[in-house]
Amino acid sequence: MVNAVVTRGRYTGAMTDTPTQAPTQAPATVLPDYAIARAAYARGDYLAAARVVAAHLRAGADGPEIKTDLALSMEKLGKLDLAEKLLLEAIATGQARPRTPRALARVLGETGRSREGLALVERMLAAGVDETFLAHPRYDLVADLGDT
């Protein structure tokens, strides 16, 4: 298994990504295998997942995906303010994948701001995000936001 690495402040993988090839240049820092975070998150050990992701951030990893990964763990740990902050930072890069605003919409709904969450979903749909992505079988975002 290839360890996740930070090379010049760039992270080479994310919790929901498929494993990436090891960089051809020597990494600046070798960190705990990011697969540990993926496995911990999958089994519901959100604190362990957050610790691995936070280690990558402290080592200089940047980018929207790593912040989104940490935000997802923070959400599960009930730290919704921190999750929202991380998700907003990820979105502000302009490079976040659709899962990031989807997660933000969910956090907004969990903090009692369903209207803001629904407005975000509407903006995502207007931007061309596939509607089926928003109604993911594990978390039907549109239905849950509509109920609150």
Neighbours of 13 (CB within 10 A): 23
Per-residue pLDDT reduced to its tens digit, 27-76: 455 566 788 898 999 999 999 999 999 998 888 887 889 999 999 999 99
Q: How far is Cα 108 from Cα 19, in angstroms, rounded to an integer? A: 31
Indicate the pTM of the whole model.
0.69
What is the identity of the amino acid at 37?
A
3-state helix/strand/coil string of the chain: CCCCEEECCEECCCCCCCCCCCCCCCCCEECCCHHHHHHHHHCCCHHHHHHHHHHHHHCCCECHHHHHHHHHHHHHCCCHHHHHHHHHHHHHCCCCCCHHHHHHHHHHHHCCCHHHHHHHHHHHHHCCCCHHHHEECCEEHHHHHHHC
* Cα 116 → chain centroid: 19
Edge-first strand order for the sheet with 5-7 is 10-11, 5-7, 29-30
pLDDT of 137 over the 70 cut: no
Q: What is the mean pLDDT of residues 103-127?
A: 87
Distance CA 90, CA 63 (A): 7
Q: What is the pLDDT of residue 9?
A: 47
